[in-house]
Amino acid sequence: MEQFKPQLLASLSQYSGAKFTKDLVSGIIVAIIALPLSIALALASGVSPEQGLYTAIVAGFLISALGGSKVQIAGPTAAFAAIVAGIVAENGMDGLAVATVMAGILLILMGLLRMGSMIKYIPYTITTGFTSGIAVTILVGQLKDFFGVTFQNSPIETIGKLEEFFACIDTASLWAVGVGCLALAIQIVWPRFFQKIPGSLVAVLVTAAIVKGFDLPVNTIGDLYTISGGLPTLTVPDFSYETVAAVLPDAFTIAILAAIESLLSCVVADEMIGARHNSNMELVAQGVGNTASALFGGIPATGAIARTAANIKNGGVSPVAGMIHAAVLLLTLVFLMPYAALIPMPCIASILFLVAYNMSGWRVFVRVIRQSPKSDTAVLVLTFFLTVVFDLVVAIAVGLSLACLLFMKRMADVAVVKEWEYIEDSQDDQGRFRPVPSHVMVYEINGPMFFGAADRIPHIQDGERRRVMILRMRSVPALDITALNGLCRLLEECRSHRVELILSHVNEQPMSVLKKSGVLALIGEENICPNIDRALERAAQL
């Protein structure tokens, strides 16, 4: 059970007052950063602003307390915005709660089954593609509020939102654009002079004061949503068969995305602090945090790379900082939440514009296209395109399938079967070669033998006069059932043509497959030789 020990317990064993001071300062600063982001991401997800804070408080506290990273900060993230908005639009808040609880259970199971290392099997091109695609969907989703456009319809898909925006562009408000541009300028310029206080918080305060003070005709959060400053309450959603069946694919999407993003965030944090996280414990914590978030009215959560980096840069040294961040947000929810009604919607849109820009990784996107093989570029572009046009489920499924097919093709191309005419004389210090005996054929197989390369296994030609075939398998690391079937076919051909089959230098995995299948007994253990010299001696005996 040592693998499932929360990092908090390890950190508290050597905790001190000095470390608590660092965690306290960092936790407060991260909470200030998370406050406007949590509200903005909640609105982008199609839920009320306080639900973003519920998520950061409940999930943020539990994931820090139970997680496998020292410095991970969890909460609502941009990656879930489009997914959550789609679930809410189609299945309502109950559907979202059921999907999130199910995703939480899946994450717990993934952790208990020690699947934390599975993150390495997600190709870099896919994570880059869908991250950039999500950034585009967030940006498109905020055009309406930034420009103060009034929609006639309420499309869900990104392309539909873009079409509706241009169809209704004549309703744009110059006041809204002005407030949005001011908020954007503050967020860009402020960090160049002041590092401790986030520019997003300053933008919120300044634009709210201007809109309220001059009574500008600009929509605020209070104009569109009812603000609640009370504590979140436990609510169990309706787990009916119809609801579960409807949101099951979304639950898998949330679980996979939460696992990918949280573990990527942990990897980034490890590089910054020179530590190593416990990926399986992190998945369990993510599952518990998401389940609790849904039961207390929140939305899906995961590790937030930007907030985690801010925690590290401001001195956070243990999970206590993340727990303090959640506690500060709880106090804000109780005492200051009603004032969120004054925040202008163009300001929220501008915050999300920068979130989208920062997560887009466009420089990485361009570099991958320039430097990668065409096959990798195809996976990247296709994943990006499908994320924007359809959704993340389709993008990951198709992108991963294409990546697997391309990988198998590469492995098949690597597999080579070559017939030898000369063999290096191991008895000769000069490194000279000797001819293969006239009654023997020697084939060397290089690369894994699987279904994509099984057709490379040689055939016995009619009229073959040589009496022995040696397959040299020192460069075959793996053998699958399709290639095994090819070997059985070759063995039958050898018997029908009265040719003896000898295997040379069979590695551990192929040997295990041969034994388990019974093919080893058919070939005969006396025809399994440790090296080519022994194989040739056996051929001479025959």
pLDDT for 138: 84
Segment 260-288, tens digit of pLDDT:
889 888 887 887 888 888 999 999 999 99
pLDDT for 427: 52
Bigger pLDDT: 10 or 117? 10
Task: Name which of 356, 387, 362, 316 is nearest 37 in CA terms.
Answer: 356
Longest dimension (CA), the chain: 102
Q: How confident is the model at residue 418 (pLDDT cuts 50, 70, 90)?
A: confident
Average pLDDT, integer, range 293-304: 94
Residues paired with 440 in a beta bridge:
468
Q: What are phi and psi of 528, to 5 degrees?
A: -105, 110
Q: How confident is the model at residue 2 (pLDDT cuts 50, 70, 90)?
A: low
pLDDT for 283: 95
CA 437-440-442 angle, 5° bins: 105
For residues 481 and 497, give the distance between their C-alpha atoms in angstroms, rounded to a whole number.
Answer: 24
Segment 30-53, tens digit of pLDDT:
998 888 889 989 988 989 999 999
Q: Could you tell me if 351 and 186 are in contact, meaning their C-beta atoms sit under 8 angstroms apart?
A: no
Q: What residue ranges of the chain are covered by domains with CATH 3.30.750.24? A: 416-541
Average pLDDT, the chain: 88
Q: Could you tell me if 305 and 12 are in contact, meaning their C-beta atoms sit under 8 angstroms apart?
A: no
From the number of C-beta atoms within 10 Å of its C-beta (0-12, 13-18, 19+), residue 24 rates as middle
Domain spanning 416-541: CATH 3.30.750.24: yes
pLDDT higher than threshold 60 for residue 426:
no
Q: For residues 510, 514, 520 and 521, what is the CA-based torsion angle, rounded to 10 degrees? A: 160
Residues paired with 519 in a beta bridge:
none
Segment 55-109, tens digit of pLDDT:
999 999 999 999 999 999 999 988 888 889 889 989 999 999 999 999 999 999 9
pLDDT higher than threshold 70 for residue 480:
yes
Bigger pLDDT: 294 or 437? 294
Bigger pLDDT: 154 or 205? 205
Q: How confident is the model at residue 257 (pLDDT cuts 50, 70, 90)?
A: confident
**Helix, strand and coil in the chain, % to nearest 5:** 65, 10, 25
